[in-house]
Amino acid sequence: MEPKISEKAWNPELEKNILKQWEEDKIYDFTPEENNFTIDTPPPYPSGRPWHIGAAAHYSQIDMIARTARMAGKNVYFPIGIDRNGLPVELYTEKKHKIRMRETERGEFLNLCRNALDDLEAEMILIMKNLGISGDFVNYYRTDSEEYRTLTQSTFIKLWKKGEVYLANRPNNYDWVSGTTIADAEIIYDDLQTKLVYMKFKIKDTDQEIIIASTRPELLCACRTIIVNPEDERYSKYIGKKIIVPITNAEVELRTHHSAKQEFGSGAVMVCSYGDQNDVVLFRELELDEIVAIGLDGRMTEVAGEYAGLKPKQARTKIIEDLETAGFVEKIDDIVHRTPISERSKIPIEIIPMEEYYLKQKEKVENIKEIGNEITFHPTMHKQILMNWLESINIDWPISRRRFYGTEIPIWYCKNCSEPHVPEAGKYYKPWNEACPIANCTKCKSTEFIGEERTFDTWMDSSVSPLFISKFNRDDEFFNKVYPVSIRPQAKDIVRTWLYYTLLRCEELTGEKPWSEAWVMGYGLDEKGMKMSKSKGNAIDPLPVIEKLGADTFRFWSASEINHGYDFRCNEQKIESTKKFLSKLWNVSRFLSSFPVIDSGTPNASDKWILSELDKLVKECKKGYEEYNFFIPAIAIREFTWNVFAAHYIEMVKARAYGIEFSDEERDGAIFTLHKTLKTILKLLAPITPFITEHLWKILYSNESIHKQKQVDVENIEEQTEITKEISEFNSIVWNEKKSQNLSLKDSIKMEIPQILKPFEKDLKSMHNLLD
């Protein structure tokens, strides 16, 4: 019989038609019912080309979650969103058009950003679609849309009215390149080369001096005290004495504090506003008055005297020269210093007192721990990232940013008395560009207002994604059916930001957890295990890879190579070699396509054996799918299909399936079993490689999409693992024997079949052409 499938290999070009068919048939449409399964899909940020290959792998796996749930009989809601708020697009736009944000008219700048986002977004959507992501692209959302920003602002207004938001003037992490305050969560650390300067400080009214080592001599003008460890005997006689600061000649007191490390530098530390976070703590604890030495422009202020106007780094160089000239320097060491830098602009942050809005979070920590414990983490170990972060929270969340492309903070201030006014929730407000919707100041009745110019931290937007997709405040019926949503898939590196902030915000607004499960994935690394980044030039563009090899190859690579939760290496050659398995599957199907599909048959010993192995496979895949760990089914299916089913079973039953020297009943037993096995393999594999399985399924078995089928159930057939081993060993022996005798595989040979394999005798004889 002619095979229904004539091509010799899987052609990834076919994916395009299949994709079109799915789109036309709307096979993934969702209307809320019982048994909803909602995915809080991470909205990717279009920050520039190329998109990350690790992200493509990540979204492929999120799609596997959706398809797994669908085949488990759940009603899947799989929204797609694009995150468009924040700094990266502003930097991208500034660079692209060679303009400065603050020197450009705000409305015009926002338009340029929007256009840039549209271009980058289009490519991301294209990649996601080509990957076979079964999400809702028709109603995809943007976090900068009027609807989304209305939600962000409404949730802020709610919290403002509850008294959860306050304004405070505090030392803040300031990134002067992007001109904004940033949260602790956005700080990363880098080891940078710097100079540790050992300076001589005179003790007042004596001719003695002490040595103080510092990496920030330019902050001498902001020095308020000197501390030493209380147990440091070298300095005990100077405690309480006045010390003269070099250059400025200011007098400060020498005090004790346990945070001074005896072994670092000279053991004596100058405390300035603000060299680092420890200085902030000390100023608060010792009740010192701060001196603002660095301004918002990132330059030294007038208190720095002749250094005013210089950048801290320039001032440092100059002051070191001056200190040396004046004989205040004992020595200078070159050291590597762990420096806090801004995650976004990659420059060292400064700590500067500024007035910013804060959202209360400190008193919420215990609440969040509780709801965190109600959530099932996949893998369990990553829950620890959240718990560690919760332990370390010690300040509230600064939520205002001095940037343009973000959701506006909806506040107007009375021009006369400065009283802040927050409008009614439910509308999108742009205070920098719109009149205040409130007629009179509630305090002084004045009619003139000034709009707030700042925007929110982008996590204020993305942290309400579960509320947005479940139509919070917009459609109560929908919301009640869908919220809390089922699962939050996301990457490991944003647990302390996106995951945490979502818990915080959703708990504040709904009193409930946002999802039942959190699924946390590792990072994509390059071939050598380094983190991929555009600046290092080791980033791989996913688009050409997918276009060349097809989505299924890429997806199968992603499943079979990425152990869930762990970091993974991306290697193009390895992705390519994955294609071989799809070829194997294709050719197995091609072979089976030459036999009629029959619904029943009487299995013989060989058939029963492969069916028991198949059932074992179903069991294993089920286990993997239940944990959304696709590594388990991918590896198991490949192993079974290639090394058991194709290598041994098909070879054993080939002659029987053709009906050569076998009865019709024996033949049908083989054909039935072959099809049952392939059908099962296709279904098991469908969530991972949706295209090829759909194609083969439709050619061989049904007009209805494989993605509408229910997953195969475990039958609990008794295991025959021992037989598998015996068969493969026996086959190996025969092949080796023929080889050593220089025989072709079809030549006949005389071999003794082991006792345990007697039930398989007839099949084995025909397979190897064994003589009696």
Q: Residue numbers of the site for RNA (CB under 7 A)?
A: 3, 8-10, 184-185, 187-189, 277-278, 338, 381, 384-385, 388-389, 392, 492-493, 496, 529, 531, 561, 563, 566-569, 571, 573-574, 577, 579-580, 582-584, 587-588, 590-591, 594, 631, 635, 638-639, 642-643, 646-647, 650-651, 654, 732, 735-736, 739, 744-746
Nearer to RNA, 389 or 404 (CB): 389
> Given the DSSP bridges, would you call strands 568-569 and 524-525 parallel, antiparallel or unpaired?
parallel
Nearer to RNA, 131 or 185 (CB): 185
Other CB atoms within a 10 A radius of the CB of residue 537 amount to 8
Nearest-approach distance from CB 392 to RNA, in angstroms: 4
Nearer to RNA, 156 or 595 (CB): 595
Nearer to RNA, 278 or 317 (CB): 278
Nearest-approach distance from CB 420 to RNA, in angstroms: 30
Other CB atoms within a 10 A radius of the CB of residue 28 amount to 20
Nearest-approach distance from CB 533 to RNA, in angstroms: 10
The radius of gyration computed from the CA coordinates of the chain, to the nearest angstrom, equals 34
Other CB atoms within a 10 A radius of the CB of residue 715 amount to 11
Cα–Cα distance for residue pair 665/656, rounded to 1 Å: 10
Backbone phi, then psi, for 513, in 5-degree steps?
A: -70, 150
Cα–Cα distance for residue pair 178/176, rounded to 1 Å: 5
* Helix H or strand E segment including 378: strand 376-378
Nearest-approach distance from CB 729 to RNA, in angstroms: 8
Residue 649: helix, strand or coil by DSSP? helix
Nearer to RNA, 531 or 762 (CB): 531
Nearest-approach distance from CB 653 to RNA, in angstroms: 10
Nearer to RNA, 330 or 737 (CB): 737
Cα–Cα distance for residue pair 61/542, rounded to 1 Å: 15
Other CB atoms within a 10 A radius of the CB of residue 336 amount to 10
Nearest-approach distance from CB 591 to RNA, in angstroms: 3
Cα–Cα distance for residue pair 633/68, rounded to 1 Å: 11
Nearest-approach distance from CB 416 to RNA, in angstroms: 41
Other CB atoms within a 10 A radius of the CB of residue 244 amount to 15
Nearer to RNA, 489 or 524 (CB): 524
Asked whether the beta carbons of 405 and 457 are under 8 A apart, the reply is no
Nearest-approach distance from CB 587 to RNA, in angstroms: 4
Nearest-approach distance from CB 436 to RNA, in angstroms: 38
Nearer to RNA, 241 or 569 (CB): 569
Nearer to RNA, 253 or 276 (CB): 276
Backbone phi, then psi, for 376, in 5-degree steps?
A: -85, 125
Cα–Cα distance for residue pair 359/165, rounded to 1 Å: 5
Cα–Cα distance for residue pair 275/266, rounded to 1 Å: 17
Beta-bridged to residue 39, according to DSSP, are 487
Question: Which residue, chain included where needed, has tokens 């139509």?
Answer: 471
Backbone phi, then psi, for 641, in 5-degree steps?
A: -60, -45
